[in-house]
Structure 1
Amino acid sequence: MSSVPTHSLHNPFPWYAHMRSNSPVFQDQRGVWHVFRHEDVKRVLSDHDAFSSRRGSSADPLSTSLISTDPPRHRQLRSLVTTAFTPRAIANLSPRIDAIANELIACLPEPGQALDIVELLTTPLPVIVIAELLGIPAEDRERFKLWSDAVIAGSRQAESGEAMTYSDAQREMVAYFADTIRARSAHPKDDLISALTQAKVDGESLSQMDILGFCILLLVAGNETTTNLLSNSLFTLHERPALWQTLAQDPAKIPDFIEEVLRHRSPVQHMYRRSTKQVTLSGVTIPAESHFVAWIGSANRDEAMYADPDEFVIDRRDRHLAFGHGIHFCLGAPLARLEAKQALEALVKRYQGVVIPNPDACEMVPTSLVYGFAKLPAQFLDAEP
């Protein structure tokens, strides 16, 4: 009898496959239900009448944000920031994103020299972009990443050697953004925080807690997803060197490559929901007020949905759930795709490839919530003359 695979941060996919086949709807010791099949995950994410997104304390700004609200409040809040993420608005950001990517790449070590891709490229690119959207000074960007890591991972080791917990990060973020909100209310600028201070829902201004929720959500979602998407893309290109040449010879294939990375190594691996009524998933009936984990990373490898799901196929046309589904589909998805696209275009134009000499030295982000690298030591290869 073969042993049951365990969950691994670097390779959770055998565990997902086992769960889809043997326990597609599973209740853990805490009473939380886990769903693994594409059809079930899609329903949990999109059926907001049966599965609520509300969670957390009313004292936590994230609990009042888009990610934790249901209709009609969700529709009201989302409409306020939708204009900042329309295709036209994102296209207008393209020249600035291209400039940021090229500036970062120009500062990388010479080809053949060791570097940490996460530290020097895949972290600063989205941090700079979201900080500029929010109107945050350049000197405060480093704090952004520290806070974001603490929210995602629960605790993150700061350079000082002291662990920053979620509560530490929340306290610092609230204090920082509260000061910024007050400053923008008094003296608006051309940035997203200023726009939120002046926005109204049904004739009423947003509360400070509402704006704090927006700021913290945009900070975390605005850099973690893109950092992991870009890091996962480069790890994939290390594994499959021929793909680098494919993209260099035909950059028009880069968007298809990005979509397959999103499916194959989804930056967000799961999301939470709570049932508002009795539901049935894969033949299992579950009572109201149950808590759910919908495993996006498993759904995107489901054999019932994808042919050869563990294979990386650049020209797939199957839709994935990497950015969610339904009303909570990731608002920043076009921005993440654009940042990854422009960074990859610049990289394949400048270099011949990427090599990770010692994959064992790579460090995964220490949480099952996301799939990505905390450290990715690598070398870029010089382009042929």
Structure 2
Amino acid sequence: MTDIVKRYNVPEQLFWLRGPRSGPPVEYDARAGMWNVYGYPELQEVLGDPATFSSDTMRVVPKSMKPSSEDFSLDGFITQIDPPGHGKLRKLVSSAFTRKVVADLEPRIAALTHELLDAARDRGRLELVTDLAYPLPVIVIAELLGVPSSDRALFKQWADALFQRDAKVSLAEPADAQKVDIQATLRPWKEMSGYLAAHATERKRQPRTDLLTRLVEAEVDGERLPDDQVVNFAIVLLLAGHITTTMLLGNTVLCLDAYPEQQDRARADRASIPAVIEESLRLFTPFALLGRATTREAELGGVTIPADQMVMVWLGSANRDPRQFPDPVAFDPGRAPNPHLAFGHGIHFCLGAPLARLEGRVALNILLDRFNPLRTDPDDPVEFMPAPTMTGIRRLPLV
């Protein structure tokens, strides 16, 4: 892993890529006013106990750091909702991601992959993220939702504004003392909300056979979802539905470039590609950080965390815990079992994980068919996303 860090100039803020931690599994950061959980079993405990470790993190954020309710509403953000409301909302879209529905998308995913690679070939170069890893999953999720995939430049603009910021937030300092531009963060939310609200309004007039229509017409406890919930749910699906796969593809290709012997094995035995993807997810965990808030005092990792505390759980670090993964810094697709936490754990396990895995498998098979070897351009450096909460490639030129 050290060789990968040096070879690809991994940013310092992605500290978990620099080897397993030597410190305790749970620590308090007095400067940030938050608790950090780094250990695998401790993180499993947090994610498996929503009654103690709530997803409603805004509850413990100081009022001075919260946007007004007029500017921003979290209604419908399933990632911020605890049981029983979480289960009810999850059921609304779970039928859109069943095993059969996802499997039936394979021909469309393959056709899109070839189309995108053909277009890149005609331009005479291939930059993996711009030409394939971003447009492929965003087209798929846009078609499922029922919004124009031709608007994907807009989606990318909003996603970049939200997820490629390197801001460090502290709950222990006044908001005005931090370099946190709340309005800059809210701007893409407002634009995206307005865009999806317009489509949702149109579905009320003219329903279609798409996921957005299903949300507009859905009922919970006999009542239709409020407009804010419909829009926010659609935002989660649109963003989470493509960003994870974008990072998964870039990270996996990077691993196969760094370990050419593993690329040769995958090329010779295509049945091993799912294991390659799983090991990439463990080693380069796309969403490296999640937040939780304690509802009561909790014992964790030998320390006591008081009630009403922000708890940051580092998936990227837990996936390198030597207590769970022998030789954790090695890229070993033969690792079995490989119970990584890249898609989360417990009730919030990623709803779109089967789709992300399918998109990754199909795209990698086609890349291996069309590129031999599949390797990065030594004269054009790889660029990582700068956000410390994510592990992903922003730019990956291929030869």
Task: State TM-score, norm by structure 2.
Answer: 0.86
Aligned twin of 2:35: 33
1:182 matched to 2:201? The reply is yes
After superposing the two structures, state which structure 1 stretch, 349-358 or 331-340, moved more.
Answer: 349-358
8 Å Cα contact 1:245-1:352 kept in structure 2: no
1:352 corresponds to which of 362, 367, 372: 372
User: Matches of residues 42-57 of structure 1 in structure 2 within 5 Å?
Assistant: 42-56=44-58
CA deviation string 1:162-209 (max 9, x = no partner): xx9321101101111111110001101111001111111111101111
User: Matches of residues 254-293 of structure 1 in structure 2 within 5 Å?
Assistant: 254-293=273-312
8 Å Cα contact 1:154-1:165 kept in structure 2: no
Name the count of aligned residue pairs: 363
- Whole-Å Cα distance in 1 between the matches of residues 73 and 379 of structure 2? 38
Aligned twin of 2:260: 241
Unaligned runs of 5+ in 2: 1-9, 59-65, 168-182
Change (3 A) 1:215 1:154: farther
1:310 matched to 2:329? The reply is yes
How far did residue 268 of structure 1 move? 1.0
1:193 corresponds to which of 212, 217, 232: 212
8 Å Cα contact 2:166-2:387 kept in structure 1: no
- Whole-Å Cα distance in 1 between the matches of residues 288 and 32 of structure 2? 20
| SS state at 2:326 partner | coil
2:244 corresponds to which of 201, 206, 225: 225
CA deviation string 1:19-61 (max 9, x = no partner): xx32321222121000100011111122101000013465534
- Whole-Å Cα distance in 2 between the matches of residues 133 and 210 of structure 1? 18
- Whole-Å Cα distance in 2 between the matches of residues 146 and 48 of structure 1? 33
8 Å Cα contact 1:149-1:155 kept in structure 2: no
1:103 matched to 2:115? The reply is yes
User: Matches of residues 123-138 of structure 1 in structure 2 within 5 Å?
Assistant: 123-138=134-149
| SS state at 2:36 partner | strand
8 Å Cα contact 1:155-1:166 kept in structure 2: no
Where in structure 1 do 4 or more consecutive aligned residues deviate above 6 Å? none
CA deviation string 1:76-126 (max 9, x = no partner): 100100000111111111111111112112222379x64321111111111
Aligned twin of 2:17: 13
Change (3 A) 1:86 1:358: same
1:84 matched to 2:96? The reply is yes
> Identity over the aligned pairs, expressed in percent?
40
The amino acid that maps onto 2:76 is T
8 Å Cα contact 1:237-1:243 kept in structure 2: yes
| SS state at 2:115 partner | helix
8 Å Cα contact 2:380-2:397 kept in structure 1: no
| SS state at 1:355 partner | coil
Aligned twin of 1:161: none
Change (3 A) 1:7 1:154: closer
2:164 corresponds to which of 132, 147, 153: 153
CA deviation string 1:232-290 (max 9, x = no partner): 01111110112222222211111111111111111110100000010111111010000
The amino acid that maps onto 2:273 is I
Change (3 A) 1:261 1:79: same
- Whole-Å Cα distance in 2 between the matches of residues 341 and 8 of structure 1? 30
- Whole-Å Cα distance in 1 between the matches of residues 327 and 74 of structure 2? 38
Change (3 A) 1:146 1:227: same
8 Å Cα contact 1:53-1:70 kept in structure 2: yes
| SS state at 2:20 partner | helix
The amino acid that maps onto 1:319 is P
Aligned twin of 1:122: 133
